[in-house]
Amino acid sequence: MGVEAVTNQKHVPVMLDRIVDLLAPALADGGVLVDCTTGHGGHTEAVLERIPGSRVIGIDRDTYALGIAGERLARFGDRWTGVHAVYDEILDVIAGQGLDHVDAVLFDLGVSSMQLDQRERGFAYAEDAPLDMRMDATQGQTAADVLNTYSAADLTRILRDYGEEKFAKKIAYAIVNRREKVPFTTSGPLVELLYAEIPAPARRTGGHPAKRTFQALRMEVNDELGALRKALPDSLEAVGVGGRVVVESYHSLEDRLTKRAFAEATKLDVPPDMPIVPPEAEPSFRLLTRGAEQATEEEIEENPRAASVRLRAVERVKPRNNPRDNTAKSTPGATR
């Protein structure tokens, strides 16, 4: 699929209006957002259109996605800068742009609809395609590598933990038995194996029987949870006073990591019976969402992907440790 064709597709990001509303107070008057999951640029485009003066540093490990975003966002000139990186490199990316801090950070986790639409990427299970699943197609192991080299125990672990697959052990041993005869190269034989190993009653509920296994493989290939574990605390460190971090998750483990990081950042670190809280004990952040917000029924009906989204956001209320400038908007020239 060509760049122009993808750019012209109207993939509306999940909970877009709510996300822009959460980001807007931090980005007014020239604030800088780091969009950690640029994709085809939907969130960035909305921010640049609706928040005058804002700027966006767009990170993506997918070079193809950055090319799509570059065409889509060219009309904004130097208000958008694309960077090929993984989001756990956020502090290095910010320093590389000559900034000490930024005003907002956004994560829209998981696989994008654009990646699902590209047959050769191997993310989708609807048709036979190479088992790749790398978000950065220039490096790293593929899904086929995982299937053909991991032990049954390791396959069981990732199918159970990342895919929440009830039949993880059964599937894992079937994969090992099958690859001894013919290695996995494309998705078709894997889907056939899943239909054979998952009992018929279980196949009738919970969506396509390959959905959980493909999700687990994608998360393993791209080390998504490992990157997120580092990126979340680094994103909190990246924002100055008034800065906001907004996270959209589509998997329970992603949301759990986000909830834990935000709970730690907003925790009041004093005994519960202390009558007066000293200023130094006040938390550095405050919650902007009550629990995890979810999409409306109307949005879910329009976009089924929205059914599993969990949205959380926090705002920094205390200066960072040893900041150079926590109060002013992000300005070039400062370094970490």
139 labelled binding-site residue? no
251 labelled binding-site residue? no
Spatial separation of the C-alpha atoms in residues 144 and 148, rounded to whole Å: 6
Spatial separation of the C-alpha atoms in residues 45 and 72, rounded to whole Å: 8
The residues facing 285 across adjacent strands are 316
Q: What is the crossing angle of helices 16-27 and 42-50, to 10°?
A: 50
Q: What are the tokens at 153? A: 């125990």
Nearest CA to 2 out of 114, 105, 81 is that of: 114
Spatial separation of the C-alpha atoms in residues 103 and 212, rounded to whole Å: 36
Q: What's the Cα-to-Cα distance from 270 to each of 260, 266, 288, rounded to whole Å?
A: 18, 12, 22
150 burial level (CB within 10 Å; 0-12, 13-18, 19+): buried
77 labelled binding-site residue? no
42 labelled binding-site residue? yes
Nearest CA to 262 out of 321, 311, 203 is that of: 311
333 labelled binding-site residue? no
Q: Do 282 and 293 form a contact (C-beta atoms < 8 A)?
A: no
Residues at the binding site are 41-43, 60, 87, 108, 115
Residues at the binding site for S-adenosyl-L-methionine are 41-43, 60, 87, 108, 115
